Structure 1
Amino acid sequence: MEAAPAARRAIRAHLDNRWAVLVLLCLSLLLITVDATVLHIAVPALTAALEPSSVQLLWIIDVYSLVVAPLLIMFGTLGDRYGRRRLVLAGFAVFGVASLAAAFSVTPLALIGARALLGVGGAMIMPATLSIIRQIFTDRRERAIALGIWSAVAAAGAAVGPLIGGVLVGIWWGAVFLINVPILLVLLPAAIKLLPDTPRRAMRPWDGLSAALSVLGILAVAFGLKEAGSGSLMPLGAALAILAGGAGLLAWFVRRQLRLPSPLLDVALFRSRAFTTGVVGVLLGVFALVGLQLMLAQYLQLVLGDSPLLAAVRMLPLVLSAISGGLAAAHILPKLGLRATMSGGLALVAISLAPTLTWGVEQHGLMLAICFVGIGFGVQVALLAASDTIMSSAPESRAGGAAAIEETAYELGAGLGVAVLGTITTVVYAPGLRAVPGVPEESMDRARQSLAGAAHVASEVGGTPGVALLNAARWSFVHALHTTIVVSVALLSITALAVAMLLRRD
C-alpha cells in the first residue's frame, strides 16, 4: 500500500528539482557536443605527436560523430526498454574510461579506438537527456523553455569546442580529453542523486538487426568515402565497393523500418515534405558548421601562423554569433515564418563564405571576423527553424520518433561534414603539392598527407628547403580550401532555394 505514495513522492521530488536536473542534463549534453569539434584546433599538435596519415587524421576527428549518429537510435530504444537513468549513468562511466584512453593514446589507431568508445558513451547519454526533459517538465510552457535551452546547448557545444581545444592544447594535446574526467566525477554523483527513474517498457520489441544495419551502413559509407578520396589503404575499386555496400545496408535498413510494426527509426515520417525539408536543413546546417570549422581552424594555424589559443580567440565571433543567433531566432521565426527563416539562414551562411574564395596566405582580420559572424548566426537561425519544422510537422503521437531523427541528423551532419569536406580537401591538396628541391621524395609523400604533416616535415627538413616546402603546402591547402568552400556554398545555396520552394508560406 505504501509503494504508490512513495512513488508519487519520488516523482514530486524530481519535479521540484526539475531546473537542477535540466542544468545537469545540459552539462552532460555540452560534454558530448563539444567532443565533436574540440580536436579541430588540436590537429597540428596531435599530428606532431602521433604522425597520423591523412585518412587516420580524418578518422580521429570524425569517428566520434559517425559512431554517435547510428547508435543514438539504438540507445534511444534501449533507454525506453531498460530505463533512461541507468543508461545515462552507464554512459558517464564509458565516457570517462574512453576519455582516459584517448588522452594517453600513443598511436593513431589507439586514438581512433578511444574516440569510437567516446562515441558509444555519448550515444548512451544524449537520447536520454531529451527524453528525461519531456518527462519532468509537465507544464507545456516550461517544457518549451527547457527544450529551447537544450537546443541552444546542443548547437553552441559544436561552436565552442574549438575555443576549449585552443585553450587546452597549449598545455598538452591530451588535455582536450583528460578535462572530461574531473567533470564526469562531479556529474556522476549529481546524476545518481537527481535523475528520476523512468518507466521501463521491456515488452516493446527491439530489433538488433536494424541496429546493426544502421551502424555498419553509416560506417561503411564513411570509410568508403574516405578511402575513395585518399586511396591510402586500398585500391579505388575496393573503396567504391565498400561505399556501395554501405549504401545497400542503409537501403535495407530503410525497407526494414517501413515493414516493422515498432521500428527503431520512424522513417515513415519522411513522407511529409515539411518534415524531410527540416531534416535536410539540420543535416546541411551542421554539415557546414562542423566541416568548415575544421578547415578554417587549420587555415588560421597552418596558413596564417596563429597559435592554437590565438586561432581559438579569432574563432570566438563564430561562437558568440551562434549563441546570439539561437536567441534571436525565437523572435525572428514568428515574424518571418519557417520558410523565410530557414532559407534566409542557409543563404546567409553561403554569402558569408563567398569572400573567403579570394583569400590567400595574407591576413584578413576584420573580414574574417565578419564572415564568422555571418556563418554562426546564419547556421543557428536555420537550425532552430529546421527543428521547429520537424517537430511541428510530426503528429504528437510520433514526437519521440521525430526527435530521434533530428538528433541523428545533427550527429550525422557533423560526421559527414568532416568526412566529405575533409576528403575533398585531401583530394585537391595532395596533387597540388609538387616536389620541392632539397626535400627527399619520402618526405614529400608524408607532406602530401595533410597540411599539418607538411608543417611537421618542414620543421624536420629545416633551412631554405623547409621554408619552401611550407610555403608550397600553404598555397596548395588554400587552393583545396577554395574548392571545399565552393562545394559548401553550392550545397547551401541549393538547399536554401529548395526550402523556399518546398515549404509552404506560413
Structure 2
Amino acid sequence: MIGLDNSILFTALPTLTEELHAGETQQLWIINAYPLVLAGLLLGTGTLGDKIGHRRMFTTGLVIFGVASLAAAFSPTPAFLIGARAVLGLGAAVMMPATLALIRLTFTNEQERNTAIGIWGSVAVVGAAAGPVVGGALLEMWWWGSVFLINVPIVVIALIATALLAPPNMPNPTKHWDFSSSVYALIALAGLTLTIKEIANPNRSWVLVAAAFFACIIGGFLFVRRQNKLEEPLLTFDIFRNRLFIGGVIAASGAMFIMAGLEMITAQKLQLADDFSPFHAGVIVAVAAIAALPTSALGGANLHRIGFIPLISGGFLLSTLGTVLAMWSAHADSVAVLITGLIFLGAGAGATMSVSSIAIIGSVPMHRSGMAAGVEEVSYEFGTLLSVAFVGSLTPALYLSNLPANLKHMGTEALHGGLGHADASTAYASAYGTTVGCVAVFAFIFTLATLWCFRGNPKSGGNGGADE
C-alpha cells in the first residue's frame, strides 16, 4: 500500500488535473507531498518506534493512512489534495519502519530473515510498479478519488491481521526520541526538492531557487549540528565509511530513482502523446511489475550463493539496457520496444532492491540496526522523491522548448486535441526520449558505483572487509 501510493497517481494525474484544474506546479506537489513528508520523517519515526513499540506504531500509522485516504478521495481543491497527500506521507512514515522492525523481531535465523526481507522488498517493488495499472483500472470504472479510496479496505484488513498475527508490542520507555531532527531533515529535503523543480522550470524565479537552496543548506546544517549534540543521534555519519553500507544506499535510492522516474513519464507519455486510455497505459507500465516479481523474490534467498555484484550491479546493468530501449522506443514509435525495455527495467530493479536492504542492515553493528533501517527506508523514498522532481520538471521544460512557436502559448493544453495535437505529441515524445536518456546515464553510473562498493563480491552483509 505504501509503495502503491507512490506511483498510483502516474496514470491518474492527467484525469485528476483536468477535474481539479491543477496547474503544473500543483501537479508536481500532489505527487511529491507524499514521498517528501515520508522521507523527511522516517529517521525520527523509526526511533519513536523503539520507544513506544513497533506494533503500536504500525497500527497508529495504519489509522492515519486510512483517514488521510478518505480525505484525499473527496478533496475539493488541489491545495486540499496536496495537504491530504502530506498526511498520507505522515501515516506511511509512522508505519513503514515498523514493518521492517517486526520482521527482524520475528525471524532470528539469518537466512530466513534474508528471505523475509527479500519478500518484503518484492512486495514494495510490486506495489510501486503496479500503481499505474491499478490507477488506470480504477479510472476506467470510477472517479479519480477511487485511487485513494482503495486504501481504506486494505487498512481495515491490515488492522485485523495485526491484531491476530503480529508479535506483542515491546516498548522501551527509556529510549530517547528527538522530534527536532526530523523537522530539520524535512526542511533540508523540501529545500532540495524545490531547488531541483525550480531550476528545471523554464519560467524559473532565481529568488525562489536561492531561497530553496538556502533552506536546504540551513536544514542540513541544523540536522548535523543536532546529531552531534545528542547522546542517541538519529544518524551518525561514521556508518557511511562502510562501503557495503554505501553500496546498499546507492542500490536502494538508485533503483527507485530509475523505476519511479521511468514509470511516471512513460505512463503520462502514453496518455498525452499516444492517446492511450489510463487503463491501457497502466497495463503497459505494469510489465515492469511482472518482471520485478521473480527477481526480487528470489534475490534475498540466493544471496549466500551468488553474492551482491550479480544481483545489484547486474540489476543496474539490466536497468540501463531497459532505459536505453525505452528511449529508442520514442524515436522508433514502437510499443513492442518499450515493453521489452520495461521488462529489462523491472527485472533489474527487482534484483537490485531484493538485497539492498540486506547490504544496509547487515553491514552495521546490531546496536545500530534501527538507525540503518531508517537510512534504508529514507533511501527508497529519497530516490523516488528526486526522480519525480527531476523527470517531472525536465520533461515539461524540454516539451515546451520543442513546441512550435505558434503552440508555445498553449503549453500542455496543445496535447488535449485540436489542430496542434500532432505537433505537440511529437514534441512530447522527443522530450520523453531525452529525459529517459538522462535516466539511462544515471543507471550506468549506479552500475559502476556499486561494482566498486561490492568489489570482492561478498555474499553477506556482515562481510569482514566492509570497513575498507
How does the TM-score come out when normalised to structure 2? 0.91
Amino acid at match of 1:228: I
In the alignment, does 2:96 pair up with 1:126?
Answer: yes
> 2:116 aligns to what?
146
In the alignment, does 2:433 pair up with 1:473?
Answer: no
Amino acid at match of 1:85: R
Rate the CA distance shift 1:393–1:408 in 2: closer, same or farther, 3 A: same
Match of 1:67 among 37, 46, 61: 37
In the alignment, does 2:367 pair up with 1:416?
Answer: no
Q: Deviations over 1:63-122 (max 9, x none)?
A: 111111121111111122122222222222211121111111122111111111111111
SS in 2 for 1:371: helix
Give the whole-Å Cα distance in 2 for the aligned partners of 1:408 and 1:391.
13
In the alignment, does 2:370 pair up with 1:400?
Answer: yes
> 1:321 aligns to what?
291
> 2:171 aligns to what?
200
Instruction: Check the 8 A contact 2:41/2:183 in 1, yes or no.
Output: no
SS in 2 for 1:199: coil
> 2:241 aligns to what?
271
Instruction: Check the 8 A contact 1:221/1:242 in 2, yes or no.
Output: yes
**Cα displacement (A) at 1:369:** 1.7
Amino acid at match of 1:123: A
Give the whole-Å Cα distance in 1 for the aligned partners of 2:19 and 2:215.
35
Give the whole-Å Cα distance in 1 for the aligned partners of 2:272 and 2:332.
12
For structure 1, list consecutive stretches of 5 or more residues without a partner in the other structure: 1-30, 459-465
**Cα displacement (A) at 1:252:** 3.3
In the alignment, does 2:326 pair up with 1:375?
Answer: no
> 1:312 aligns to what?
282
For structure 2, list consecutive stretches of 5 or more residues without a partner in the other structure: 458-468
Match runs of 1:185-196 below 5 Å: 185-196=156-167
Instruction: Check the 8 A contact 1:304/1:362 in 2, yes or no.
Output: no
In the alignment, does 2:201 pair up with 1:230?
Answer: yes
> 2:18 aligns to what?
48
Amino acid at match of 2:385: G
Amino acid at match of 2:382: L
Amino acid at match of 2:267: A
**Cα displacement (A) at 1:330:** 4.2
- Greater mean alpha carbon deviation, residues 409-418 or residues 205-214: 205-214
Match of 1:492 among 428, 443, 453: 443
Give the whole-Å Cα distance in 1 for the aligned partners of 2:184 and 2:62.
26
Give the whole-Å Cα distance in 2 for the aligned partners of 1:332 and 1:90.
35
- Greater mean alpha carbon deviation, residues 75-84 or residues 181-190: 181-190
RMSD: 2.2
Rate the CA distance shift 1:251–1:420 in 2: closer, same or farther, 3 A: farther
Q: Deviations over 1:257-313 (max 9, x none)?
A: 245321112432111122112201211110110111000101212222211111122
Rate the CA distance shift 1:487–1:205 in 2: closer, same or farther, 3 A: same
Instruction: Check the 8 A contact 2:330/2:433 in 1, yes or no.
Output: no
Instruction: Check the 8 A contact 1:55/1:230 in 2, yes or no.
Output: no
> 1:455 aligns to what?
415
Instruction: Check the 8 A contact 1:160/1:319 in 2, yes or no.
Output: yes
Q: Deviations over 1:134-169 (max 9, x none)?
A: 223344454333322212112221111111111111
- Greater mean alpha carbon deviation, residues 479-488 or residues 169-178: 479-488
Identity of aligned residues (%): 36
Amino acid at match of 2:139: V
Give the whole-Å Cα distance in 2 for the aligned partners of 1:334 and 1:190.
32
> 2:181 aligns to what?
210
Amino acid at match of 1:215: L
In the alignment, does 2:67 pair up with 1:115?
Answer: no
In the alignment, does 2:252 pair up with 1:282?
Answer: yes
Instruction: Check the 8 A contact 1:63/1:415 in 2, yes or no.
Output: no
Give the whole-Å Cα distance in 2 for the aligned partners of 1:150 and 1:359.
32
Which has more radius of gyration? 1
Amino acid at match of 1:406: E
Rate the CA distance shift 1:254–1:156 in 2: closer, same or farther, 3 A: farther
> 1:173 aligns to what?
144
Q: Which has the higher contact order (CA 8 A, sep 6+)?
A: 2
Amino acid at match of 2:84: A
Instruction: Check the 8 A contact 1:343/1:499 in 2, yes or no.
Output: yes
- Greater mean alpha carbon deviation, residues 139-148 or residues 413-422: 139-148
Rate the CA distance shift 1:384–1:181 in 2: closer, same or farther, 3 A: closer
> 1:298 aligns to what?
268
> 1:351 aligns to what?
321
> 1:17 aligns to what?
none
SS in 1 for 2:173: coil
Instruction: Check the 8 A contact 1:349/1:379 in 2, yes or no.
Output: yes
